[in-house]
Structure 1
Amino acid sequence: MDRPDDRHPETTAFLAGLTRLLLTTSGEGAEQIERSVTAAARGLGAEAGLLVLPDAATVTVTSHGQVTTLAVRGFPEVFRLDQVIALKPLIEQIAGGRMGAAEADRRLAAITSAPPPYPWWLKLTGIVLFAIGFAPLMQPTWYEVWTTAVLGTVTASLAVAAGRLPRLATVLPLVAAATVSLITLEVFARTPAHGGPVLLMLPALFYFVPGDYLSAATTELAAGFLTTGAIRLVYAVFLLVQLYLGVILGLVITGRSRHALFDVAAHGDLPRWALFLAWLVFTVGTVLAFAIPGRLLGILLVLVYATVGVQTAGTKLIGEVGGTFAAAVLLGLVTTWLAARPAQPPRIVLLLPGFFTLTVGSLGMRGLTALAGGYPVQGFHDLTKMITIVTAIAAGLLLGAVLARRPEPAP
């Protein structure tokens, strides 16, 4: 049996580890971190106060007559959603007072040290399928699809290698963009008949486009987490700039003129069934690339097709921004409602595939490259469109979440 003077260090150690893991999986923003840690602290008979930044948090733990304040760091990612799924029932048990700090810490250590659910070659396959599924949204052509299969294999190989090479991981978006740019300009974009080079590059680079960071940053700003949202927004822009510089490096290496980055779409030749099937391929790729258990594929497919359906119908009725906003409201409402059920995974897991269908960050990438290619009108148009759609998505997700949440009980 634990002595009273042992409980505070155990509680503090667990809450610090929990905060660290939540930081590294904070694709949905800072609010969920604060809510989860404070709920776990109450279940352990303690109180926790947090000051959260995207990559760090100050945690103050008060329990058993002692107070400890410590700093926790964790780099934000969304690549191990299996850990996020495993955390939900653990936090629910702790918040319900059904588990002590020592056992909670052991369970947390098991989650943190668990290997990914899929081997490296399945993750590589997932990233390729993820890119192929997104390709018809850029250009509905067979040329776009098979080109993406080749380029996606290149970027997937780099992403898997970065998991074992920390130095590569720090510059991965830049290296991936430069490699894809070089191959595209030299091999695949020799004629305008197949569409603009950036349209051929983007599906293979979509895995690195920070649409989730942009949306999370906007949501945090709207929810009042000003410092966290501003920092995350700067980091998202930095990732976009890395991708942009990589594309420009491809121009420099090949010696091509900047006007080679023309933004013209090819005539579509994909049948309707292929466009419909693309979202299935996309969702399977998301499951494998982001370490989501296969048992969730069915519900994620329903959410993806529902999001696409509402966005498509809304765009025809009220325009692109209105359709995107309506789809985001639906996605936010349904995923928040589902995530409140104990048997369902956390909201970020349910949200991610449907969110990706709204295609945020690629607009920023197209805007930057259009500017570099000497097309200022198109470039500024894409950048302005990115800001508008990012805001629409963030506001829609936030509104959907507010509509779905149960009112807090009166004190």
Structure 2
Amino acid sequence: MTGGPEPEPEHALDPGPGPRPGHGPHAAPGHGPDADPGDGPGALHDFLRELTRFMLTFSGEGAEGVDRVVRGVARTYGGRAETVLVADGAVLSVTAGDRTLTSTVTAFPDVSRLDRAVALKEFVERVRDTRPPLPEAAAGLRRIETLPATVPRWARGVGIVLFSVGFAPAVQPTWYEIGTTALLAALVALLTVLSDRRPRLARVLPLLAAALVSLVTLGLLRPGQEHGGPVLIMLPALFFFVPGDLLSAAAAELVGGFLSTGAVRLVYAFVLLLQLYVGVLLGVAVTGTPTSALLDTAQDADLSRWVIVGSWAVFTAGLFLAFGVPWRLAGPVTGLVYLSLGVQAAGTALIGEVGGTFVAAMALAVAADLLSRPAGRPPRLVLFLGGFFTLTVGSLGLRALTSLAGGHVLHGFHDLMDFLTVVTTIAVGLLAGAALVPARVEREFPNGGP
């Protein structure tokens, strides 16, 4: 989703009492209070501060990824960096020579433009290999931030529709589900595109989208029970906002020991989920629909297996348009989507749903990590995201909440337990997959640079 404008980072603070290094009557040339050395400690600190802010905002990396890259780039320039990270900020301390500078960085996470994440990985690789002057490196980072969108705004709306329609058969494999999703997703896409330049509106966009979808579904479409429960009709159109990726990423960070970042992501994911839940209930209240109608009964399938298989290609095309993924990555991203589906289907047939989901998450993590390592390859997040969405569990959370609100306590708690189980399974599977691939930090960032 599109986030609001991030606050400007604070100026560097030099901790501790006493004279500041490089200042006073015996300051070295070029290091006085009015000097602005292009390659001194201050320039390195300023560049790393902007790199940290950029990664927090656009890269989608967890705490471990941001810390690894910032430390590695600091070593490339002969310095040392330490970070204390939360999901939307960091404390950065940079040491170069005998001088240490510390500052805070704040940024609102936003992965709606994954082309920036691709450009960032390529940029970091160039910095590692060529170690350009710091002013040049800083200018390169600014150019990435101002890159024009890879697709026009209307095409992003088309992407949201394709993304939702491609996912619809995973909720109910029926032509009615596909048709209603096309209509409802078009309304969601229009609302999303109109909010792109209204950051304050974007913060409550899940609530507005859920209310709109609920009103149209319950007040205009009025699906009968033969078409499945109304929440199942609404879910594909709202899938763009369902925070399944945030929930599993939060669980993975908590299991991996990054308690602050994991806790913040977990709270934020639940806030997004609650916005969707309240939006659905607003539609229920306005249309006078009894809450007992929210039971998520499913319609019998009427789609062929090949239509269901092909729908994931439509879903992936929508992912590229909606999130701005460069088209040159269509092969590996689509391959990982079908890898996740195939492994999950085979694993479920052999060892059950939980085991199949665990194995699929582990296989996805290994494949994305290995494919992203060579120079010039896209970042792990971009390769990983499509496959992850096939395993996502946020829709289970919304179904659980609406079932409970409708008075279907046993059904709601069953969905809730499924939700918690699958979130944990995906998170642990991702960690297990990452553990199977040894880290190569020193090779990626040699001490002192090339």
Length-normalised TM-score, structure 1: 0.97
Alignment deviations for residues 156-180 of structure 1 (CA, whole Å, 9 cap, x no partner): 1111112111221111010000000
1:280 maps to 2:324: no
Amino acid at match of 2:359: A
Amino acid at match of 1:254: T
Q: Secondary structure at the match of 2:240?
A: helix
Contact 1:131 1:148 in 2 (8 A): yes
Amino acid at match of 2:316: T
Contact 2:59 2:114 in 1 (8 A): no
Query: How far apart, in 2, do the equivalents of 1:35 and 1:62 lie?
Result: 16
Contact 1:56 1:72 in 2 (8 A): yes
Q: Secondary structure at the match of 2:303?
A: coil
4+ residue stretches of structure 1 with deviation over 4 A?
Answer: 2-5, 406-411
Q: Secondary structure at the match of 1:331?
A: helix
Query: How far apart, in 1, do the equivalents of 2:110 and 2:415 lie?
Result: 26
In the alignment, which of 386, 409, 421 is matched to residue 376 of structure 1? 409
In the alignment, which of 85, 88, 91 is matched to residue 58 of structure 1? 91
1:234 alignment counterpart: 267
1:249 alignment counterpart: 282
Query: How far apart, in 2, do the equivalents of 1:267 and 1:3 lie?
Result: 76
Larger Rg: 2
Query: How far apart, in 1, do the equivalents of 2:116 and 2:194 lie?
Result: 21
Query: How far apart, in 2, do the equivalents of 1:204 and 1:170 lie?
Result: 18
Higher helix share: 1
1:390 maps to 2:447: no
Amino acid at match of 1:335: A
CA RMSD of aligned residues (A): 1.7
CA shift, 1:348, in A, is: 0.3
Length-normalised TM-score, structure 2: 0.88
1:77 alignment counterpart: 110
Deviates further, 245-254 or 73-82: 73-82
Name structure 1 gaps, 5 residues minimum. Answer: none
1:40 alignment counterpart: 73
Q: 1:83 to 1:184 in 2, by over 3 A?
A: same
Alignment deviations for residues 200-250 of structure 1 (CA, whole Å, 9 cap, x no partner): 100000000111111110111111101110111011111101100000000
Name structure 2 gaps, 5 residues minimum. Answer: 1-28
CA shift, 1:3, in A, is: 5.3
2:326 alignment counterpart: 293
Query: How far apart, in 1, do the equivalents of 2:371 and 2:153 lie?
Result: 30
Amino acid at match of 1:153: A
Give matches, 1:2-401, under 5 Å: 6=37, 7-25=40-58, 27-96=60-129, 98-401=131-434
CA shift, 1:380, in A, is: 0.9
Query: How far apart, in 2, do the equivalents of 1:272 and 1:196 lie?
Result: 23
Q: Secondary structure at the match of 1:106?
A: helix
Alignment deviations for residues 248-303 of structure 1 (CA, whole Å, 9 cap, x no partner): 00001111111121210011111111101100000011011111000111111111
Contact 1:94 1:104 in 2 (8 A): yes
Q: Secondary structure at the match of 2:407?
A: coil
Query: How far apart, in 2, do the equivalents of 1:405 and 1:3 lie?
Result: 44
Amino acid at match of 1:312: A
Amino acid at match of 1:279: W
Contact 1:336 1:347 in 2 (8 A): yes
Q: 1:22 to 1:136 in 2, by over 3 A?
A: same
Q: Secondary structure at the match of 1:266?
A: coil
